[in-house]
Amino acid sequence: MLIDFKNLNINQLYSETEFENKIKTFLKDWLSETKTVKVQTSGSTGVPKVFDIEKKKMVASAEMTCNFLDLVEGDSALICLPIEYISGKMMVVRSIVRKLKLIITNPTTKPLSDINYKIDFCAMTPLQVENSLDKLYLINNLIIGGAAVSESLKKKIFQISHELQDSQRIFETYGMSETLSHIALKQVFPDPEDFFTTFENIKISTDELGCLKIFAPHLNTEILQTNDLVEIKNNNQFRFLGRIDNVINSGGAKIFPEQLEALVKKEIPFEAVFLGLEDETLGQKLVLVIEGEKSQQIIDNIATLPFEKSFHKPKEIIFKEKIPRTPNGKVNRIELKNILQNNINN
């Protein structure tokens, strides 16, 4: 299905798939007189929640993204993310606000499998990008969200850079349901950046623990306190260090698992997760969980990695056939940790 928001007639939209029908339902809700829509959180950091968001604030968020990417009326966009979450809903709202031509394809892990034409704008998860490398040349502006872009994926993107044009841009996003999708972008291609750059009218600071605070009055009247530890470079740039609730305290040393995962993923092409499991001596024992079959070569490669501190080396490497994920593809650290801890206790 293709929806041209320059000439929208919802009564003429014919839904052939369940996903198309969900989008049509959301459009009816959006065009109704209600001032809010319901959005579901992913549940990657706790119990999934459903809450109401004002439509006018979603419009403000959409305008920021469209302006940053220089999207204009008549440009094409592809939605391949679940409409239940803010990521999918915002793709529709951006198309409404900027009067884009929205192409709808089922939110699978290979969203470009049936696409053979140029698209101006698309949002994907890292896993979807991983499975679409052979067709990334079709996307002029690609934003990647839902999880961090691993060093391994960045490397793969640059390995196909000869197929991409200089005018193409790929960004990693920073945001959450409470910020109505992303409030900052970091370029991955063609010019890789270390720091996220916030949109206009976004003010950032940190609390006493070093966690990011966001003030975006056009999106939320209150200052949003995150659990994300960051390094602030200037008024509108910051580097993500990790989530404070993921921090591992091993023998009194604080360890940021996301930073260690970035190092490991430069060397191995599989999902890798650092966790702290209960330990009588250390408090928490640092373990590395790798998705896939056990490999001595991978174990040997990890042993040679240049970890900054000796206590950054995992005390144990665990291979697991499948790492649990939330419905929208994020690693479910809580469930994974519970599974491993239960195995130890039993």
Instruction: Extract the residue ranges of the chain whose pLDDT is less than 70.
Output: 42-48, 328-329, 346
Q: Is residue 220 part of a domain?
A: no
Same domain as 264, residue 182: no
**CB-neighbour burial class of residue 28 (10 A; exposed 0-12, middle 13-18, buried 19+):** exposed
State residue 346's pLDDT score. Answer: 62
Q: Is residue 226 part of a domain?
A: no
Q: Is residue 215 part of a domain?
A: no
Q: Is residue 208 part of a domain?
A: no
DSSP letters, 232-287, are EEETTEEEEEEEGGG-EEETTEEE-HHHHHHHHTTT-SS-EEEEEEEETTTEEEEE
Our count of domains for the chain comes to 2
Domain that holds residue 297: 247-345
State residue 42's pLDDT score. Answer: 62
Last residue of a domain, one of 136, 166, 200: 200
pTM of the model: 0.81
The CATH number of the domain holding residue 57 is 3.40.50.12780
Last residue of a domain, one of 179, 200, 221: 200
State residue 47's pLDDT score. Answer: 59
Q: What is the pLDDT of residues 91-102, one digit of tens each?
A: 999 999 999 999
Same domain as 160, residue 258: no
Q: Is residue 42 part of a domain?
A: yes
Same domain as 184, residue 39: yes
State residue 267's pLDDT score. Answer: 83
State residue 134's pLDDT score. Answer: 94
Q: Is residue 194 part of a domain?
A: yes
State residue 11's pLDDT score. Answer: 76
